[in-house]
Structure 1
Amino acid sequence: MTYELKTKETDNSVIEFIESVESPRKRDDAYQLLDIFTETTGYEAKMWGPSIIGFGKYHYKYKSGHEGDAPLVGFSPRKARFSLYFATGDSKREALLKEFGKHKTGKACVYINKVADINVDILKELINQSVSFLKNLYPE
């Protein structure tokens, strides 16, 4: 039995997705995050699954044999708050998060309510750190 990934890169429009966000403030923040992630990574934004905006991609392969593709970094304007996707497992992440501003962390996500709550310079560092960490871990 092969495991089918739910979150795959699609050709759906990132702009159309952001325009579909109900809250005007959240939509403005999504555009701000889009600019920050695009400028910081140098990658074009792509939709991953129905609701994740991802930047770049890497191919992972676990010891179990499970493998797939995932964005290097990304975000999603969820109903309750924004989910930000960075690499886990890098010790630098925890230190950066201490300076990040108001957020919560989940297993693989960092959650924020709005861009005004965070330090954008630290966000850029988190993005860069995640991209370089994953590129070193999974070289092409």
Structure 2
Amino acid sequence: MNENLTRPTEILAEDFLAAVQHPVRRADGLVLAKMMGRVTERRPVMWGPTMVGFGTYRYTTGSGRRGEYFVVGFSPRKASLSLYGLTSAPGSDALVEQLGKHKRGAGCLYVNTLADVDVAIVEQLVSLNYSYILGNLGS
């Protein structure tokens, strides 16, 4: 079976975030890391070269492929902040509607800056989805 290419790395999330060139992305990343760490009670872990994740769960796909992935996380990408793991739990859609300016991807939310959204709603989404995913898939 194919191995998941996105895996935890030895890179420190703090070092990655400190090196983000765009000052707003760097600042937003630091805010997200602090908030997600507080809510999940987990330290940030780098998954691949650009994704900061919190907590882990094991999954099995319909085809039988197994893997491990972070529960919630983000990436301060050039074009936008990508927020991962915030749309799975029942009740997420209602909160996302209150979020503010964002775009929705297949498994993530894209926001230009945290100033464009209600950070309290982001925090609620992190808490709701973290608990839901661990309660249903957690390891």
TM-score interval for Structure 1 and Structure 2 normalised by the shorter chain:
over 0.9
- Asked whether 1:48 is paired with 2:47, we answer yes
Supply the AA of the counterpart residue of 2:18: E
SS at match of 2:91: helix
SS at match of 1:57: strand
CA distance in 2, matches of 1:37, 1:138: 19
CA distance in 2, matches of 1:87, 1:59: 17
Structure 1: 5+ residue stretches without partners: none
| Alpha-carbon shift at residue 57 of structure 1 (Å) | 0.4
Supply the AA of the counterpart residue of 1:7: T
CA displacement, residues 52-95 of structure 1 (integer Å, 9 cap, x when unaligned)? 00000001112311110000100000010000001544331111
Matches within 5 A, 1:6-17: 6-17=5-16
- Large movers: runs of 4+ above 2 Å: 87-91
Query: Does structure 2 retain, via aligned residues, the 8 Å contact 1:52–1:75?
Result: yes
CA distance in 1, matches of 2:97, 2:8: 31
- Asked whether 1:106 is paired with 2:105, we answer yes
Equivalence for 1:118:
117
SS at match of 1:80: coil
Structure 2: 5+ residue stretches without partners: none
CA displacement, residues 29-59 of structure 1 (integer Å, 9 cap, x when unaligned)? 1111111111111110000011100000001
Alignment length (residue pairs):
139
CA distance in 1, matches of 2:109, 2:46: 19
SS at match of 2:110: strand
Query: Does structure 1 retain, via aligned residues, the 8 Å contact 2:25–2:77?
Result: no
CA distance in 1, matches of 2:87, 2:119: 20
CA distance in 1, matches of 2:103, 2:136: 25
In percent, how many aligned pairs have the same letter?
Answer: 36
SS at match of 2:101: coil
Change (3 A) 1:40 1:58: same
CA distance in 1, matches of 2:26, 2:38: 18
Supply the AA of the counterpart residue of 1:43: R
